[in-house]
C-alpha cells in the first residue's frame, strides 16, 4: 500500500502556513457545528473524512501533549514561528480544517490516497492566495476551472523553502515525510473565506460539485463539540484491501471491518481516543470483541508485573481500555492521564 496520504497532508499544512487565516475569537458551538456541516457538504465523494479543530489543535492540544518534553515542544512551536517570520502569517489564526480522502486502486495490492482539504476563517481568501503566490517566488502555475482560477504550487519547492534540519524524532518523521513529496498542490478560493487545497483532480472535483460524500460515511462521523479531531472511513472490500493482514483469526477479524469512526479529545486531565468499528455481521463483531478482550488479557500479563516505568504505563492503559460491542459495532475507548503522557513524551529524544 502506498504511503502518499501523510505527505499530502503535510504539504496541505505547509500551504496553510503560507496562506494563513484570521478567526473570530467568540464563535458558539452551534455556529462551529454548522460550519463543519457546510464544509463537509462541499467535499467531493470521499472514502474517508477527517474534521480538525485547527485552532485548538495548535493552541491547546499540541502544547498540552508535548508539555512533558519542552525541547520537542520548543522545536514544534519554533517551526510555526519560523514560517511566521518568513511569511508574516501565523498558522494559529485559521479555524476549521475538513479533509476528504478518496482511495484509488493503482495495482492489485496498492492504493493511492487523494486528499482535498477545505479550510476557512473570517478572512479574504483571495488576499491569502496572493500572499502564498508572493511567498512561492513565482514557482506556481494557473488553471481555469469554470469561472475559478486554480493555483498549482510545486510541492518540492515548498519543502526546499521551508524545511530545516530536525532535532527530534517527531521532527525527523516530518522531515522524512516532506522528502517523499512528489505531487503538486492546488489551491482555490471557493468563496470569500473558504479555500480548497489538495491534489489538482480533487480540487477540480470540489469545484465541479458533481459528487458528494455519501450518507453512510457522514452518518458515521462523530461531531462532538469537545473533539479536537473526528474521522470516519469506509472499506467495503474489507480492511485487507488497505492493510497487510495475516491469514489468521486476528487478520480475519480485522478484515471484517467495513467502517471505522472515532474522535480524539484533549483535556486538562489527559487525552481520550474513541474508535468504533462496524463489521459486516453481528457475529463478526462479537469475534472481534473477543479477540480484543484476549489481547487485553495477554497485555496485562506481559506488562502487569514489570518494574519499568514505561511498561507500567502500558499496563495501566491496557487495563483501563474499554471494549464494548452492540450488534455489528465494536467500540474501544483508551484514556491516558496527563502524568502518563508527560512520562512517555519526556523519554522521546
Based on the domain organization, do 95 and 155 belong to the same domain?
yes
What is the pLDDT averaged over residues 270-281? 92
Based on the domain organization, do 119 and 254 belong to the same domain?
no
Contact 263, 299 (CB under 8 A): no
For 65-91, how does the pLDDT look when each residue is reduced to its tens digit (9 = 90+)?
888 888 888 887 777 676 555 444 455
Based on the domain organization, do 192 and 69 belong to the same domain?
yes
Average per-residue pLDDT in the chain? 79
**Which residues, other chains included, contact 145 with Cβ-Cβ below 8 Å and sequence gap of 6+?**
188, 203, 204, 207, 208
User: Residue 267 falls within a domain, yes or no?
Assistant: yes
User: Residue 173 falls within a domain, yes or no?
Assistant: yes
Q: In degrees rounded to 5, what are phi and psi of residue 269? A: -90, -15
Percent of the chain surpassing pLDDT 70: 73
> Looking at the predicted structure, is the pLDDT value of residue 242 above 70?
no
Answering whether pTM is above 0.85, one says: no
> Looking at the predicted structure, is the pLDDT value of residue 299 above 70?
yes
User: Residue 140 falls within a domain, yes or no?
Assistant: yes
Nearest-5° Cα angle at 344, 341 to 346 = 100
User: Residue 75 falls within a domain, yes or no?
Assistant: yes
Based on the domain organization, do 153 and 268 belong to the same domain?
no
Based on the domain organization, do 178 and 249 belong to the same domain?
no
Based on the domain organization, do 189 and 246 belong to the same domain?
no
User: Residue 225 falls within a domain, yes or no?
Assistant: no
Domain count, the chain: 2
Lowest mean pLDDT among 89-93, 178-182, 283-287: 178-182
What CA–CA distance (Å, rounded) separates 212 from 215?
Answer: 9
User: Residue 41 falls within a domain, yes or no?
Assistant: yes
Based on the domain organization, do 58 and 206 belong to the same domain?
yes
For 300-332, how does the pLDDT look when each residue is reduced to its tens digit (9 = 90+)?
888 988 889 889 999 999 999 999 999 999 999
Based on the domain organization, do 203 and 63 belong to the same domain?
yes
pLDDT score recorded for residue 249: 72
Based on the domain organization, do 201 and 251 belong to the same domain?
no
What CA–CA distance (Å, rounded) separates 295 from 141?
Answer: 52
User: Residue 242 falls within a domain, yes or no?
Assistant: yes
Q: Residue 340's domain is classified under what CATH number?
A: 3.30.565
For 6-64, how does the pLDDT look when each residue is reduced to its tens digit (9 = 90+)?
555 545 544 455 444 434 444 467 777 888 889 999 999 999 999 988 888 888 888 88
Where a domain ends, among 179, 213, 247? 213
Based on the domain organization, do 198 and 258 belong to the same domain?
no
Based on the domain organization, do 43 and 134 belong to the same domain?
yes
Based on the domain organization, do 33 and 152 belong to the same domain?
yes
User: Residue 228 falls within a domain, yes or no?
Assistant: no
For residue 246, give its domain range.
235-346
What CA–CA distance (Å, rounded) separates 54 from 13?
Answer: 10
Amino acid at each position: 500500500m502506498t504511503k502518499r496520504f501523510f505527505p499530502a497532508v503535510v504539504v496541505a499544512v505547509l500551504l496553510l502556513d503560507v496562506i494563513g487565516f484570521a478567526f473570530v475569537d467568540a464563535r458558539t458551538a452551534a455556529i462551529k457545528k454548522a460550519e463543519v456541516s457546510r464544509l463537509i457538504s462541499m467535499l467531493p465523494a470521499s472514502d474517508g473524512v477527517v474534521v480538525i479543530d485547527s485552532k485548538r489543535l495548535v493552541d491547546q492540544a499540541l502544547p498540552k501533549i508535548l508539555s512533558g518534553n519542552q525541547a520537542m515542544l520548543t522545536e514544534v512551536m519554533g517551526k510555526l514561528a519560523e514560517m511566521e517570520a518568513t511569511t508574516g502569517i501565523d498558522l494559529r489564526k485559521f479555524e476549521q480544517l475538513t479533509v476528504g480522502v478518496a482511495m484509488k486502486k493503482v495495482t492489485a495490492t496498492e492504493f493511492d490516497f487523494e486528499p482535498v482539504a477545505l479550510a476557512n476563517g473570517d478572512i479574504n481568501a483571495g488576499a491569502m492566495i496572493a500572499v502564498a503566490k508572493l511567498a512561492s517566488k513565482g514557482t506556481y502555475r494557473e488553471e481555469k476551472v469554470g469561472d475559478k482560477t486554480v493555483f498549482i504550487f510545486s510541492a518540492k519547492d515548498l519543502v526546499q523553502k521551508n524545511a530545516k534540519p530536525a532535532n527530534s524524532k517527531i521532527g525527523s518523521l516530518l522531515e522524512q515525510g516532506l522528502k517523499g513529496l512528489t505531487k503538486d498542490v492546488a489551491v482555490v478560493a471557493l468563496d470569500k473565506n473558504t479555500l480548497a487545497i489538495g491534489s489538482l483532480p480533487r480540487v477540480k472535483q470540489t469545484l465541479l460539485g458533481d459528487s458528494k460524500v455519501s450518507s453512510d460515511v457522514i452518518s458515521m462521523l462523530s461531531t462532538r463539540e469537545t473533539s479536537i479531531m473526528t474521522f470516519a472511513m469506509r472499506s467495503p472490500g474489507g480492511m485487507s484491501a488497505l492493510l497487510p493482514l495475516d491469514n489468521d483469526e486476528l487478520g480475519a477479524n480485522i478484515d471484517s471491518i467495513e467502517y471505522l469512526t472515532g474522535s480524539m479529545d484533549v483535556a486538562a486531565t489527559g487525552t481520550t481516543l474513541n474508535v468504533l468499528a462496524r463489521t459486516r455481521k453481528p457475529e463478526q463483531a462479537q469475534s472481534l470483541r473477543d479477540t480484543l478482550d484476549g489481547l487485553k488479557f495477554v497485555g496485562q500479563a506481559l506488562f502487569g508485573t514489570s518494574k519499568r516505568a514505561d511498561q507500567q504505563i502500558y499496563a495501566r492503559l491496557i487495563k483501563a481500555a474499554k471494549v464494548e460491542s452492540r450488534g455489528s459495532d465494536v467500540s474501544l475507548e483508551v484514556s491516558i492521564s496527563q502524568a502518563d503522557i508527560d512520562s512517555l513524551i519526556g523519554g522521546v529524544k
